[in-house]
Amino acid sequence: MFRLLFQRFAIGLVLLSLAVGCGDNRPKRVPVSGRVLIDGEPLSHGFVQVVPAGDRAATGKIGSDGRFTLTTFEPEDGCVLGTHPVAVIATESIDGSSQRWHAPKKYMDSTTSGLRIEVTEPTDSMELNLSWDGGQPFVEKFDSE
């Protein structure tokens, strides 16, 4: 009897230690989605990248309606809490030697974009406003060397 009780206790202890080891050590995230506008119109190509200091970046593909949903570790798990710089990479490959830019190059780097978001709670209405500042989409050709 004592042996059976001890075996059950030991098995329970092993299972408990395995369950404790399975915890998610990832930073807290909240769902974040929204839209990207350029000069008031939906941006229809590219990706949003949110770059938290010291944490993994969150990314989201921009749909044809300008909407995006952020992913950090798992699909649509959102972004870590805080205020973070943002990049919008809005290029479209045309062929092997050129690409179309759907937003100015400055937005491609979170350190030059001037964009920041504050994540304090789940949201589906985050809005990123970009501007061509008088420019327009353009095609850039690459050297084939």
Q: What are 54-81's pLDDT values in tens digits?
A: 889 999 999 999 999 999 999 999 999 9
Among 127, 143, 38, 24, residue whose Cα is nearest residue 74:
24
The answer to whether the beta carbons of residues 39 and 131 sit under 8 Å apart is yes
pLDDT at 105: 93
In angstroms, the CA 51 to CA 80 distance is 10
Ranges of each domain in the chain? 29-131
Question: Per the confidence metrics, is the pTM higher than 0.95?
Answer: no
Fold for the domain defined by 29-131: Immunoglobulin-like (2.60.40)
Calculate the alpha carbon distances from 106 to 39, 103, 114, 130 in Å: 15, 8, 8, 10
Tokens of 6: 């001890």
Give percent above pLDDT 90 in the chain.
Answer: 63
Who contacts 69 (Cβ-Cβ below 8 Å, separation ≥6)? Answer: 31, 32, 33, 60, 76
